[in-house]
């Protein structure tokens, strides 16, 4: 559970609503169904038009990471990698064979399999880096779905405000309606800018941070597996991998 | 048929029009011929001045991909590439000769021809990558035509609005005209910002996603063809290409 | 003659003026000498302060390319390069000596001279690429003069508008002057934003497209000349150069 | 103590408050609790949602560097490195062993240890550069926390202003309240834009400058340690390292 | 003396002041001490907080280049380099020894010394490029001080305007004061935007152009000195260096 995420979203919304309340504003004026339809609908529409289907699904899946962050147990992995290196020095690479079946991370499993199959170090590196790059690129593309939404929502909020103002202008003759009309119009701006800055953009950035974290973790695993296949000294492997901590 | 594109554009426009209607706005106030001429004409003018002829034509051709996405059957291609690798191992590269005529993708056809002609692996890679890069660069240039349009249309919408406001200001003496004059002026802004955010920019991004997809597919084919020309083990080729899935 | 450029600039201006006329605006309200002086003078001043002398002259020279595009006859060049490669195979590199005098493109002439002088392939590549890079960088720098102008003109338009508004505010007591004062003030904005979006930025982009085109053409010539100096098969040279079409 | 930082923040705030006072403004109008809650709370909320926990902590730790800058004594380090090189030439790398214990900079200590252990020059370079890159990336990520805050705060200031304006509009009937209502609303904008431009963004940039400085210093140390392990001439090492001054 | 810089700054300011005068504005309305204090003080404060001390000093030193541009006599240098190459061919590298003392450009002097000392070509290149990169990076950092100021000044101008508007709003009851109050408020915007676009940003760009020019000149010198140390043909050196003209 990422309590910082929860805290952040709570503080952000409380600050806005609370500050407004302290200034004497009423919460009801900030609630406006049609404005929500315009801003949310327009933003979702733009992003659906923009995003290929599987990228959109991946984005929805990654959304979970904002509150339930994935874990990459680096310190633990270094320990295990060093023990693999020692095992390989004593029993040869084939001695790692029974580890493949037990490995749960599919990326590491693939690496171990390539190792056990006796591939050349540079082949192992190339294949794993291809996979890492391709996976990272896709995850980033998915994270950018929220970034795009955060780019669209303020401008669509402005469209909502301008549409509202147009209506108001049509009825300039009734000054009593003026104020509340403008008020309603402005709510779209708040929705658009607020949605982007209190939710969409920060979420996109948190997802990106997790993606970078995963890539660094995988990079560490590649270094370790390649070093084992090069028959490097377990102690040196440990020093090198500690650079990732 | 890319149903997400269709859905996106529909949701976007419905949300705006519907939200406005719920707020009591009338659709007619949002329809304004001269504003459309200003925004659409100005945007098209800017982009014609900016774009070389053949890039503009390519952009129009790629527009189709927004609703009719091209397909790059990776899984199927991997299977076929592996079978080519096996055939080449048994019958030599010349055994692939009859495949060249049957191949429909011109990029793969060129690669197969280079393979059958017995070129060096690094020559095959270099020529195909030259073609990939040059093709990708042109497609991106074409996709950017819509991105540029999405950059110009909001500012031209603002020009339209300011021109409208100038007229309104000339007639400040008749307050009855004021509101509807401003309303008309603001419609340009809605057209400019709306066109950019609900159509042009999302379309440019979808086209870009297809271009990147094609390049990745071609990169996979290069990896496969070069690996065949290096006489690599079909099973290893399969593992490597699976990294692109 | 680049008819697209001419068409673009015509459509753009016609759309704005025509749309405004259809909305009942008068052309005269859009004409304002002082506003033009502010926006044009301010923009030119900023760019003169920013740009070294020879870059500014180069920019003025490249401006011509917007309407009279340079031509890079690739298909024709490939044919000729292949024939050079054949001649070199038969008569040696010295057989190309009489071509040097006839060559009109100074870049290709330099390349041919380096070839005839019997330089090493990598030396030819290095010297020509140095020249290509240095030339491209300067042309880009010149193209960016218009991009910069397109960046300055809207903000200077805003300065003009604010200066106009200040005057208006000084005379709030005479409401009859108010409207026309504001109108004049807004014209600066239109000049600034319009100049940038209908002329300066699209022109900068067209010039950039020509610069990129020239570089790609020169890159093709480098590939061809280096391949000749490596004594490569003329047919292979042709295949490789076709990748640039 | 970074007196420039202190001077900068003082001048910035004094200029704003003083200029406003000279224009006849009262300081009290610029103080508004609810506006502060909205802008500060919203900005902190956005950044907490966005930032992984350990990055946030690192950012708070680096904040100290704005006023208490870290020192990287290059000239002194070059002298010491040259003396190490001389010692290594006379007594071999093992002669450096007793230096390891006394070294206080953990990065240099690790480098010395790798040197004394007799690792290959390229291994030393690789491990130290891995550490440098990984450390720099994390510090930059932390510096960007303040950059992000400086990006969020102006937009959240605008949300505050619009919320304030909405309230004002609700009470258009009481013109006496109008002015002071709008005034309160605008204070949010000042807080948002001022916080970003007088504090958050400059601080982020100063932290970044320190991070770059540290990396350059570490790069210098890598060059020196690798050169020692290559047994290079101490005088040449000195010339090379002086390039970093 | 860079007459273009002088011309640019004069044209820019004359255009604004003159255009305003032609529109019937009075110069006095554009002069406002407190606004100047706010904008200039705030901008300087932000930049002092942001910039390390020595970078700020370097920026002040580079400012001089805007009007007194440094000269890099390339054509002359090529001639001299070729004569050095000839001398080195006849009398060996030691024949260049007496040149070192007479050389005035410290960068070239260092290069000549490295050459005379008989260092390896790649060592000479590495050391000189290290120095070039490090020097370019610092000069760019200094040039960016003005770019940053040009980024801060418009937003601080807006803070000044909003502070002015707040005051105006406090006194809505006295409409006679309204106009001139708003006018004063807007002057901050003009100062902020004008300072950035007519001075700070163009100056930053001119300084950057000089930095790039110096780096290209130094790059040319590196090519020449390395070529001499490789004992290359003086004529070939001349052709290669001419690529930099």
Q: Is A83 on the interface with B (CB under 8 A)?
A: no
pLDDT value at residue B28: 86
Q: Measured between alpha carbons, how far is B72 from B239 in angstroms, rounded to an integer?
A: 19
Q: Measured between alpha carbons, how far is E194 from D186 in angstroms, rounded to an integer?
A: 23
Is it the case that residue B242 has pLDDT exceeding 90? Answer: no
Is it the case that residue C183 has pLDDT exceeding 90? Answer: no
- Which of A175, C202, E233, B57 lies closest to D169 in space, CA to CA? A175
Q: Answer yes or no: do E244 and C119 touch at CB < 8 A.
A: no
Q: Map tokens 């002439």 to a residue.
A: C109
Q: Map tokens 């405004």 to a residue.
A: C20
Q: Map tokens 């420039």 to a residue.
A: D4
Average pLDDT of D15-25? Answer: 90
Q: Give the 3-state secondary structure percentages of chain A, helix then strand then coil, rounded to 5.
A: 85, 0, 15
- Indicate if the alpha-carbon torsion angle E120, D120, D80, D98 is positive or negative: negative
Average pLDDT of B107-121? Answer: 92
Q: Is B190 on the interface with A (CB under 8 A)?
A: yes
Is it the case that residue D13 has pLDDT exceeding 90? Answer: yes
Distance from the Cα of C101 to chain B's closest Cα (Å) equals 31
- Asked if the ipTM is above 0.90, the reply is no
Residue A239's closest chain D neighbor by CA?
D127
Alpha helices in chain C (DSSP H): 3-22, 33-36, 42-50, 53-63, 74-91, 97-102, 106-116, 121-170, 175-194, 201-229, 234-242
Q: Measured between alpha carbons, how far is B131 from A234 in angstroms, rounded to an integer?
A: 45
- Which of D46, C213, C236, A33 lies closest to B110 in space, CA to CA? C236
pLDDT-based confidence at E85, cuts 50/70/90?
very high
Q: Which of A162, A177, A197, A238 to mutate to test the interface with D (most CBs of D within 10 A)?
A: A197
Q: Answer yes or no: do D37 and A24 touch at CB < 8 A.
A: no
Token duo for residue E167? 């005051």
pLDDT value at residue B225: 95
Q: Measured between alpha carbons, how far is C141 from C133 in angstroms, rounded to an integer?
A: 12
Contacts of A4 in chain D (CB under 8 A): 48-49, 51-53, 56
Phi, psi of E105 (to 5 degrees): -75, 115
pLDDT tens across E144-198, in order?
999 999 999 999 999 999 999 888 887 777 766 677 778 878 999 999 999 999 9
Q: Measured between alpha carbons, how far is C36 from C25 in angstroms, rounded to an integer?
A: 19
Average pLDDT of C149-167? Answer: 94
pLDDT value at residue E122: 92
Token duo for residue D231? 């047994």
How many interface pairs between B and C have CB atoms less than 8 angstroms apart? 170
Residues 130-149 of B with CB under 8 A from C: 130-131, 134, 141, 148
pLDDT value at residue E169: 81
Residues contacting B167, CB < 8 A, separation 6+: B181, B185, C20, C23, C24, C25, C29
Is it the case that residue C244 has pLDDT exceeding 90? Answer: no
Average pLDDT of A185-199? Answer: 95
Token duo for residue E244? 């930099």
Q: Measured between alpha carbons, how far is E165 from E156 in angstroms, rounded to an integer?
A: 14
Contacts of B45 in chain C (CB under 8 A): 7-15, 198
Q: Is C210 on the interface with B (CB under 8 A)?
A: yes
Phi, psi of C178 (to 5 degrees): -55, -60
Q: Answer yes or no: do B56 and C16 touch at CB < 8 A.
A: no
Average pLDDT, chain B: 91
Token duo for residue A1? 């559970």
3-state secondary structure chain E: CCHHHHHHHHHHHHHHHHHHHHCCCCHHHHCCHHHHHHHHHHHHHHHHHHCCHHHHHHHHHHHHHHCCCCCCCHHHHHHHHHHHHHHHHHHCHHHHHHHHHHCCCHHHHHHHHHHHCCCCHHHHHHHHHHHHHHHHHHHHHHHHHHHHHHHHHHHHHHHHHHHHHHHHHHCCCCHHHHHHHHHHHHHHHHHHHHHHHHHHHHHHHHHHHHHHHHHHHHHHHHHHHHHHHCCCCHHHHHHHHHCCC
Phi, psi of D193 (to 5 degrees): -70, -40
pLDDT tens across B22-76, in order?
988 888 889 999 999 999 999 999 999 999 999 999 999 999 999 999 989 999 9
Of B218 and B24, the structure prediction assigns the larger pLDDT to: B218
Average pLDDT, chain E: 91
* Dihedral angle computed from the Cα positions of residues D41, D42, D43 and D46, in that order, rounded to the nearest 10 degrees: 120
Q: Is A55 on the interface with B (CB under 8 A)?
A: yes
Phi, psi of B209 (to 5 degrees): -60, -40
- Nearest by CB to residue C15, choosing from B42, B127, B162, is B42
pLDDT-based confidence at A1, cuts 50/70/90?
confident
Task: Answer yes or no: are the C-beta atoms of A62 and A139 closer than 8 Å.
Answer: yes
Average pLDDT of D6-28? Answer: 91
pLDDT value at residue C179: 72
Worst-scoring range by mean pLDDT, A110-114, C72-76, E23-27, E60-64?
A: E23-27
- Nearest by CB to residue E23, choosing from C44, C53, C164, is C164
- Which of C147, C143, C108, C144 lies closest to C128 in space, CA to CA? C108
Distance from the Cα of D242 to chain A's closest Cα (Å) equals 28
What subunits make at least 3 CB pairs under 8 angstroms with B? A, C
Average pLDDT of B152-177? Answer: 86
Residues contacting C12, CB < 8 A, separation 6+: B41, B42, B44, B45, B46, B48, B49, C198
Distance of CA C36 to the CA centre of its chain: 24
- Which of B217, A50, D172 lies closest to E172 in space, CA to CA? D172
Q: Is C175 on the interface with B (CB under 8 A)?
A: yes
Token duo for residue C126? 């290095």
Is it the case that residue C195 has pLDDT exceeding 90? Answer: yes
Is it the case that residue D109 has pLDDT exceeding 80? Answer: yes
Q: Is E45 on the interface with D (CB under 8 A)?
A: yes
Residues 112-131 of A with CB under 8 A from D: none
H or E element: which one contains D110?
helix D106-116
Contacts of A109 in chain B (CB under 8 A): none
Instruction: Evaluate whether chains D and B are touching (3 or more beta carbon pairs less than 8 Å apart).
Output: no
pLDDT value at residue C84: 93
Average pLDDT of E78-94? Answer: 90
Q: Is E11 on the interface with D (CB under 8 A)?
A: no
Cα separation values, E152 from D40, D145, E39, E42, Å: 20, 19, 9, 8
- Which of E212, E200, E208, E192 lies closest to E9 in space, CA to CA? E200
Q: Answer yes or no: do B50 and C199 touch at CB < 8 A.
A: no
Contacts of A130 in chain B (CB under 8 A): 240, 243-244
Q: Measured between alpha carbons, how far is B6 from A49 in angstroms, rounded to an integer?
A: 7
Residues contacting C237, CB < 8 A, separation 6+: C81, C82, C85, C224, C227, C228
Contacts of D53 in chain A (CB under 8 A): 2, 4
Q: Answer yes or no: do E186 and C169 touch at CB < 8 A.
A: yes
Contacts of A14 in chain D (CB under 8 A): 41, 45
Q: Is C162 on the interface with B (CB under 8 A)?
A: no
Instruction: Evaluate whether chains E and A are touching (3 or more beta carbon pairs less than 8 Å apart).
Output: no
Query: CA A176, A182, A187: angle at the middle one, nearest 5?
Result: 140
Is it the case that residue E64 has pLDDT exceeding 90? Answer: yes
For E25-52, give one letter per residue: b (16+ CB within 10 A) or e.
beeebbebebbbbbbbbbbbbbbbbbbb
Q: Is E236 on the interface with C (CB under 8 A)?
A: yes
Contacts of B155 in chain C (CB under 8 A): 154, 193, 196-197
Residues contacting A127, CB < 8 A, separation 6+: A110, A114, A119, B239, B240, B243
Q: Measured between alpha carbons, how far is A167 from A186 in angstroms, rounded to an integer?
A: 13
Distance from the Cα of A7 to chain B's closest Cα (Å) equals 31
pLDDT tens across B167-213, in order?
888 777 776 667 777 887 899 999 999 999 999 999 999 999 999 99
Worst-scoring range by mean pLDDT, A231-245, B148-162, D126-140?
A: A231-245
Q: Answer yes or no: do A47 and B4 touch at CB < 8 A.
A: no
Task: Answer yes or no: are the C-beta atoms of C67 and C6 closer than 8 Å.
Answer: yes
Distance from the Cα of A41 to chain B's closest Cα (Å) equals 5
Q: Answer yes or no: do D206 and E52 touch at CB < 8 A.
A: yes
Please count the residues of chain B: 245
Q: Measured between alpha carbons, how far is D140 from D146 in angstroms, rounded to an integer?
A: 10
Q: Which of B10, B12, B172, B238 to mutate to test the interface with A (most CBs of A within 10 A)?
A: B12
What subunits make at least 3 CB pairs under 8 angstroms with E? C, D
Contacts of E194 in chain C (CB under 8 A): 159
Contacts of A141 in chain B (CB under 8 A): 209
Q: Measured between alpha carbons, how far is B16 from E245 in angstroms, rounded to an integer?
A: 58
Q: Answer yes or no: do E7 and C51 touch at CB < 8 A.
A: no
Contacts of C152 in chain E (CB under 8 A): 197, 201
Query: CA A200, A206, A209: angle at the middle one, nearest 5?
Result: 140
- Indicate if the alpha-carbon torsion angle E49, E52, E55, E60 is positive or negative: positive
Q: Measured between alpha carbons, how far is C159 from C41 in angstroms, rounded to an integer?
A: 12
Contacts of A142 in chain B (CB under 8 A): none
- Nearest by CB to residue D48, choosing from A4, A13, A240, is A4
Token duo for residue A162? 């301008």
Of A200 and C119, the structure prediction assigns the larger pLDDT to: A200
- Which of C196, B203, C126, C22 lies closest to E230 in space, CA to CA? C126
Cα Dmax for chain A: 91
Q: How many other CB atoms are there within 10 angstroms of residue A233's CB atom?
A: 12
pLDDT tens across A106-157, in order?
999 999 999 998 889 998 998 899 889 989 999 999 999 999 999 999 999 9
Token duo for residue D185? 């609303």
pLDDT value at residue A68: 93
Residues contacting E225, CB < 8 A, separation 6+: E81, E108, E111, E112, E114, E115, E124, E128
Q: Which of B5, B11, B19, B153 to mutate to test the interface with A (most CBs of A within 10 A)?
A: B19
Q: Map tokens 């309407």 to a residue.
A: C67
Query: Is D188 exposed, middle or buried (CB count within 10 Å of its CB: 0-12, 13-18, 19+)?
Result: buried
pLDDT-based confidence at D23, cuts 50/70/90?
confident
- Nearest by CB to residue B163, choosing from C20, C69, C244, is C20
Contacts of E206 in chain C (CB under 8 A): 49-52
Contacts of B33 in chain C (CB under 8 A): 22
Cα separation values, B89 from B82, B94, B101, Å: 11, 10, 20
Task: Answer yes or no: are the C-beta atoms of C16 and B43 closer than 8 Å.
Answer: no
pLDDT tens across D39-50, in order?
999 999 999 999
Is it the case that residue C68 has pLDDT exceeding 80? Answer: yes
- Which of A149, A186, A196 lies closest to D160 in space, CA to CA? A186
């Amino acid at each position: 559970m990422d309590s910082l995420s929860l805290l952040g979203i709570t503080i952000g919304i409380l600050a806005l609503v609370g500050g407004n309340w302290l200034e004497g504003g009423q919460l009801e004026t900030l609630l406006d169904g049609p404005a929500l339809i315009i801003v949310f609908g327009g933003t979702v529409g733009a992003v659906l038009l923009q995003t290929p289907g599987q990228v959109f699904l991946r984005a929805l899946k990654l959304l979970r990471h904002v509150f339930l962050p994935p874990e990459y147990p680096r310190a633990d992995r270094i320990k295990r990698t060093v023990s693999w290196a020692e095992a390989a020095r004593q029993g040869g690479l084939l001695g790692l064979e029974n580890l493949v079946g037990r490995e749960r991370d599919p990326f590491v499993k693939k690496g171990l399999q390539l190792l056990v199959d006796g591939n050349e170090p540079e082949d192992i590196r190339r294949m794993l880096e291809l996979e890492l790059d391709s996976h990272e690129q896709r995850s980033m593309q998915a994270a950018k779905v929220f970034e795009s939404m955060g780019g669209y929502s303020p401008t669509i909020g402005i469209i909502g405000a301008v549409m509202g103002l147009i209506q108001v202008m049509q009825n300039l003759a009734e000054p009593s309606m003026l104020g509340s009309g403008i008020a309603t119009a402005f709510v779209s701006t708040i929705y658009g800018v607020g949605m982007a800055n209190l939710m969409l953009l920060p979420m996109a950035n948190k997802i990106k941070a997790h993606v970078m974290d995963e890539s660094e973790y995988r990079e560490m695993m590649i270094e370790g597996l390649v070093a084992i296949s090069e028959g490097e000294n377990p102690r040196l492997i440990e020093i090198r991998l500690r650079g990732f901590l």
